[in-house]
Amino acid sequence: MPSGRDEIGSHYLESGFNREEMSFRFGQHLIKPSVVFLKTELSFALVNRKPVVPGHVLVCPLRPVERFRDLRPDEVADLFQATQRVGMVVEKHFQGTSLTFSIQDGPEAGQTVKLQKHDKEEEDSPTLWRSEEEMASEAAALRVYFQ
C-alpha cells in the first residue's frame, strides 16, 4: 500500500508508510496493532488491558459509533460474525467450556468507551493492568488461530 492506508481509510491513523506503525481507534483511545489479533472488513478484536477473566477480549466495529443503534446492518453482521469466530478461538485457547458475550450500550450500562463487544472466558481474573508486552504476547498467540 504505497499511501500507507488500506481499505479502512480513516479508521487507521496515518503514521508513515508502515502499517505496523498505525493504530486503531477505540473510542478516545489509540490502539496499537500489537494488541489487535483479528481485523475483518468492518471489525477488529483486541486483548484487554485489564481483563476480568482470562480470555476477556474486545471485538469492536472499525467505524467509531456512540451506540449499537448507530451501526449499519453490514457492520452489525460483521461484528457478530467476528465475535463468533473470536469466541471459538478464546474458548479453545483458554480451554474454556463457556463464554459470556456482552454489549455495554450507553453510560447506564457501564459503557465508558464507544461501542464494543466483550467476550469473556468464565474463570478467575487477573486484577492488575497488564504491560504492553504482556498484551502483545497474548495477541500474538491468538492471532495465530486466524492465519
The bridge status of strand 117-121 relative to strand 57-61 is antiparallel
> Where do we find the cell 493492568?
129
* pLDDT one-digit tens code per residue, 103-142: 988 888 876 665 555 555 544 444 568 899 999 999 999 9
Class of the CATH-defined domain 33-146: alpha beta
Q: Per-domain residue ranges for the chain?
A: 33-146
pTM, entire model = 0.75
Provide the CA 46 distance to its chain's centre, in angstroms: 3
Separation of alpha carbons 36 and 24, rounded Å: 9
Helices assigned H by DSSP within 5-131: 73-93
Amino acid at 120: K
pLDDT tier at 96 (50, 70, 90 boundaries)?
Answer: very high
